[in-house]
Structure 1
Amino acid sequence: MVLRSRSVQSGPAFKAGSHPPESAPDGMVWIPGGEFLMGSDDPMAWEEERPAHQVRVRGFWMDQHEVTNTEFAAFVMATGYITDAEKAPVLEEIMAQLPPGTPPPDPKDLVPGSLVFSSPEQVVPLDDISNWWSWKHGATWRQPEGPGSTIEGREDHPVVQVSWNDAQAYCKWAGKRLPTEAEWEFAARGGLQGKNYVWGDDSPTDERVFANTWQGKFPSQNLQKDGYQRTAPVKSFSPNGYGLYDMAGNVWEWCQDWYDKYLFRTYEEGAVQDNPAGPASSRDPSQPYTPLRVQKGGSFLCHDSYCQRYRPSARQSSSPESGMSHVGFRCVKDIIQP
């Protein structure tokens, strides 16, 4: 049974003069901009979410839902674009992201492919992601789980196995761009202030479902109480206060920003960050040789027992050329200046 999210509580949504000066682009909604508390000091927050701080963003248009397989297929058909997962990895680029002295990968693995989630058959430790993630030769946006899989019947699901580079290329073709992390989080909150989730403060459970997330024991038991084993069709769950769908769960979404794990600690206490566009470069001590971009929103793999990263303040990262079977994106568009 899927319980729809509760009615949205009032917040800093539309104000006099905040409506856009132009008609809505197809499939997009207006995000009015404003000031909000970004990040979180809640006990469940991860260290990279701290401290919470005031941020001001300007108004912008945002896709109502994640870019779908149908939409991405139209882009590929129009441009002949080849995604990163469809290209053979370059040995020099791989070695540049590894600690000095790391042995090179087996040449047989330098073929097109991507990372795919597979549920193990038994309970496994949660400190080793290789128990459920593996590199699959031939895994692409057309074959999200590798050879033999297909997007047939999933045309209205979010496209996955797309890298940050791929998302950038699509946005440029569509006359749009990726959202900054601040824009994304402001939009995800939908006008709610200080809430843990995009729908309010009610914690999801295996029986109380608000989004496409994991129910059961991660990663070996998926009860599918939300109705989906992997991705769900876009707009399957209730929208937030701005009319945006799937800002929690379904797939992680790329943002424009470089990822700095401790960025929020560098801000002056009490200062308001005005329309921040992220740091000049990435920083994560656990991955010192890998450039990283921000991802937001969590995915169908998030569960209370593992990460709780379907919260709007949560953040994670990946290298710009990487695709995974639970990562997609949506676009934003600036207003046309007179």
Structure 2
Amino acid sequence: MLETIAVDAGVVTLADRRTQRRWEVTLRPYEIGVFPVTRGEYGLPGGDRLPVESVSWLDAVRFCNAQSLQAGLPPAYVIDGDDVSLVDTSDGYRLPTEAEWEHACRAGTPGPRYGELDEIAWYRDNSGGRLREVGGKQPNAWGLYDMLGNVWNWCWDLYDPQVYGTYRVLRGGGWFDEHWSCRASVRRRSHPTFRVDDVGFRVARSVR
């Protein structure tokens, strides 16, 4: 079983700097991964505690379904090639929505980060130019590690379908990023088949 913690219901305000749009999302209780998914959990040899990277959004949703089946949970996704739909009634593993991700990242804090960046995140100035094991920095107030830095996290949401089509949201910043990318509100986008060495993911589950 992947390690998750429970997050209470809440309200989060999301913002997009490109469009200057702000919108409020009301969240039901959910669970989210304490750490990004690691190479060991993903079934890759070597570096068991390193976050898995170079995984596409489609890789991530397939992993979530596989983990659900292994845990005896109903899969959260119906996958037909590159077409993926969410099963609203499932409590299986899934990707967090970006609202869930930001709410969990902030952990009740109002600022751009939940602590001093060097103390909570691996990023360009302190990573030594490489990926780092999960849990090596301080967690936020809710006990979540590596919410900022180390690897970007895929989220469920489409970024802006009218402009970018099927591109999905990435959150959190990575080991190669400058400090300004490692903030709770920063949104990035990429194609669901995109793979690169600073993009990974963490899981979530709905509470039924």
- TM-score normalised by L of structure 1: 0.51
Amino acid at match of 1:213: Y
Match for 1:319 among 171, 174, 191? 191
- Label 1:69 to 1:26 Cα distance change in 2 as closer, same or farther (>3 A): closer
C-alpha displacement of 1:27: 1.1
CA contact (8 A) 1:161 1:324 kept: yes
Specify the code of the residue in structure 2 equivalent to 1:186.
H
Judging changes above 3 Å, is the alpha-carbon distance between structure 1 residues 297 and 227 closer, same or farther for their aligned structure 2 residues? Answer: closer
Indicate how the Cα distance of structure 1 residues 227 and 255 shifts in structure 2: closer, same or farther if over 3 A, else same.
Answer: closer
Give the drift of 1:33.
1.9
Q: 1:249 to 1:227 in 2, by over 3 A?
A: closer
User: Structure 1 residue aligned with 2:138, among 214, 217, 238?
Assistant: 238
CA distance in 2, matches of 1:177, 1:192: 25
**2:10 match:** 34
Quote how far apart the aligned CAs of 1:38 are.
2.4
**In the alignment, structure 1 residue 250 sits paired with structure 2 residue 150:** yes
CA distance in 2, matches of 1:52, 1:189: 17
Runs (4+) of structure 1 exceeding 3 A deviation are 50-53
CA distance 1:227–1:324, change in 2 (3 Å): closer
Shift of 1:28: 0.8
**Corresponding residue number in structure 2 for 1:212:** 122
- Classify 1:26/1:168 alpha carbon distance in 2 versus 1 (closer, same or farther; 3 Å): closer
Aligned to 2:75: none
Structure 1: how far apart are the matches of 2:26 and 2:52? 30
Largest Rg, 1 or 2: 1
Tell whether 2:34 aligns with 1:58. Answer: no
Please name the residue that 1:174 is paired with: 67
State the match for 2:181 in structure 1.
309
| CA distance in 2: counterparts of 1:165 and 1:53, whole angstroms | 27
Secondary structure of 1:255's match?
strand
Residue 170 (structure 2) pairs with residue 298 (structure 1) = no
Q: For structure 1, list consecutive stretches of 5 or more residues without a partner in the other structure.
A: 1-24, 41-45, 74-141, 143-150, 216-225, 261-281
Question: Structure 2 stretches of 5 or more lacking a match?
Answer: 69-92
1:291 Cα offset (Å): 2.5
Higher strand share: 2
1:162 and 2:62 correspond: no
- Name the Cα RMSD after superposition: 2.0
Whether contact under 8 Å (2:119, 2:137) holds in the other structure is no
8 Å contact from structure 1 (residues 38, 186) kept in 2: no
Q: Deviations over 1:196-223 (max 9, x none)?
A: 1132xx5x4xxx55310011xxxxxxxx
Query: Cα offset for 1:283?
Result: 3.5
Q: Do the aligned residues in 2 keep the contact of 1:198 with 1:247 (CA within 8 Å)?
A: no
- The within-5 A match list for 1:101-112 is none
Q: CA 1:300/1:29 → structure 2, altered by over 3 Å: closer, same or farther?
A: same
Q: 1:198·1:248 contact (CA, 8 Å) conserved in 2? A: no
Amino acid at match of 1:162: V
Seen in structure 2, the aligned counterparts of structure 1 residues 36 and 233 have a Cα distance that, compared at 3 Å, is same
Deviation at 1:229, TM superposition (A): 2.4
What is the identity, as a one-letter code, of the residue corresponding to 2:29?
Answer: G
| One-letter amino acid of the counterpart of residue 164, structure 1 | W
Q: What is the identity, as a one-letter code, of the residue corresponding to 1:197?
A: R
Q: CA deviation at 1:227?
A: 5.0
| 1:167-213 deviations in Å (ceiling 9; x for gaps) | 000111112011111111111111113x11132xx5x4xxx553100
Alignment TM-score, normalising by the size of structure 2 = 0.81
For 1:47, what is the secondary structure of its paired residue?
coil
Counterpart AA for 2:200: G
Which of the residues 200, 203, 207 maps onto 1:328?
Answer: 200
The SS at the match of 1:233 is coil
Q: Secondary structure at the match of 1:212?
A: coil
